[in-house]
Structure 1
Amino acid sequence: MKNITAFFLVLAISFSCQSEKDFTDEVNNYVQAFNSRNITDYVNFLIPAEYGNNEEYKTNLVEAYNRILEGDERKLSNVQIIHFVKKEDQTQLLFSADHGNSSTFFIGRTDSDNILKFSTLFSSNMRIDQITQKIPELDTSFYDLIEPGWENVIRFKAGERIPDLEWISISGKEIKTREISDQIIVLNFWHTTCAPCIKEIPELNQLVTKYPKVNFVAPISDIDVDYLKDKFLTKYNFNYDVVIVNGNDYNVYSFPKHIVIKDSKVVEIIDGYSEGNISKLEMAILEDI
């Protein structure tokens, strides 16, 4: 806590120069609530998007955090302000901190009453798109600080064109999307540690057999190649092309995720596994054949 004390003095000076209000107390109370595990107070300091903009959900969120943090004695320390923006009538701040032996960061923004509210703690590898889902009004000047090179990340959005993508499958097949742009491409982002991803393999294999003119590609990142080839794929059979990619190149952070592409444009994005989602995937294929 000794580093935080020094930080608050600097922060107060910074605020006095840049804002009509000193938010030191709010920051201090947020940190204190977390470190003392006063979860009710901690949740009260959060931006409404954290509990779905529904006050009734606050109780559920408090219960969830009490379970998550049970036995976790890590404290926030060495809190520092990284960035400060006054955007129209809203103040936005980016904080870094130590969370035990790990690094974390969180964002503060004022509400309509000029009260500072905060995000939950983010891991250092959090993607900017994940954050803007909760804080869509976040100033773009924060983006490079949170995710350097974010503008070069490949984003899949319905109705938008994809860049030319090239992969080499683990079987050595060269795949270039520009050469099959007139065909349907289904990207299945997955991972070996994702149980729903594994569960859907047989069903995707059936779709591959059923629609031979559709190009099914399964990108996977952060995987040991030898394990994938010699252990996993000898147990689970894929009838479609598995490619190893750099996960940082793609704005995909939940699995499984299915991207249906036709004429180089995204026509459908389907998140997660369920029988309904498999049916939805097939319908998307049928609509574009």
Structure 2
Amino acid sequence: MSRKSRLLVFGLLLLLASSLSGCTSSGGATKTAPRPGNLAPDFTLYTLNGKRISLSEFKGQRVLLNFWATWCGPCRRELPYLEEAFQSKGTEVKFLGVNVGESPSEVREFVRANKISFTILAGAKTTDVAEAYNVRYIPTTFLIGEERVVENVKIGAFASLGEVLNFLRESAPVK
């Protein structure tokens, strides 16, 4: 199946599933999502400005990795809390938002309109990364430690800034 066909099928499945039960993703059913204590899969994606970024570049730093989409209501509701957390903790934790399955131009406009300043990754390969992390529902957030080990996972939206900060605090580094 071509990449374009795969993206179309992925998008249609997301739309159908989200209309039935909230925001979902069609991540591979046979894969297991990285759990706390597991090594986070490495990936390389592009920012909205075209800069190439790999997870492995952030060795020695903690990374909050959030999978989301502009059409997902819970994702839209949690983004301001993630932005606030980034403003207060962005020097301690690298924030990466992985937009799943939308074009960079579409995402760029949304990010600008909503004043999101943490790094957003978008483009064709984001669906592959979502599959590698077995993301079935969005938003899904991973906290990845300094050695690329998953410290915490949250499926669903953060309901407050306090919840995001607790997620960061309660995630004891796993060595």
TM-score (norm 2): 0.69
How big is each residue's C-alpha offset from its partner over 1:195-223, in whole Å with a ceiling of 9 and x where there is no partner?
A: 11111111111111101221100111221
Distance in 2 of aligned mates of 1:286 and 1:274: 14
Q: 1:221 aligns with which of 100, 105, 108?
A: 100
Q: Say whether 1:174 aligns with 2:52.
A: yes
1:269 corresponds in structure 2 to 153
Task: Say yes or no: does 1:208 pair with 2:92.
Answer: no
- The list of structure 1 runs, each at least 4 consecutive aligned residues, that deviate by more than 6 angstroms after superposition, is none
Alignment partner, residue 256 of structure 1: 139
Match for residue 246 of structure 1?
Answer: 126
The residue type paired with residue 255 of structure 1 is I
Q: Matched residue of 1:269: which SS?
A: strand
Paired AA for residue 68 in structure 2:
W
Partner Cα distance (1:206, 1:191) in 2 = 19
Q: Which residue of 1 aligns with 2:28?
A: 127
Q: Which amino acid in the other structure matches residue 283 of structure 1?
A: N
Cα 1:248–1:166 change in 2 (3 A) is: closer
Larger Rg: 1
Identity %: 21
Deviation at 1:248, TM superposition (A): 3.8
C-alpha distance in structure 2 between counterparts of 1:126 and 1:205, whole Å = 26
Structure 2 equivalent of residue 160 of structure 1 = 38
Q: CA RMSD in A?
A: 2.4
CA distance in 1, matches of 2:105, 2:138: 22
SS of match in other structure, 1:128: coil
Pair 127,165 (structure 1): closer, same or farther in 2 beyond 3 Å: closer
Secondary structure of 1:217's partner? strand
Q: Residues 187 and 227 from structure 1, CA distance in 2 versus in 1: closer, same or farther, beyond 3 angstroms? A: same
Aligned counterparts of 2:48 and 2:84: Cα–Cα separation in 1: 21
Gaps of 5+ in 2: 1-25
- Correspondences of 1:76-225 after superposition (within 5 Å): 127-129=28-30, 155-213=33-91, 214-225=93-104
Secondary structure of the structure 2 residue equivalent to 1:275: coil
**What are structure 1's unaligned runs of at least 5 residues?**
1-124, 130-149
Query: CA 1:199 to 1:247, structure 2 compared with 1: closer, same or farther past 3 Å?
Result: same
Q: Which amino acid aligns with 2:101?
A: D
**Which residue identity lines up with residue 90 of structure 2 in the other structure?**
P
- Equivalent in the alignment of 1:94: none
Letter in 1 for 2:66: N
| Structure with greater contact order relative to length (CA < 8 Å, sep ≥ 6) | 2
Q: Return the TM-score normalized by structure 1.
A: 0.44
| Kept after mapping to 2: 8 A contact 1:270/1:281 | no
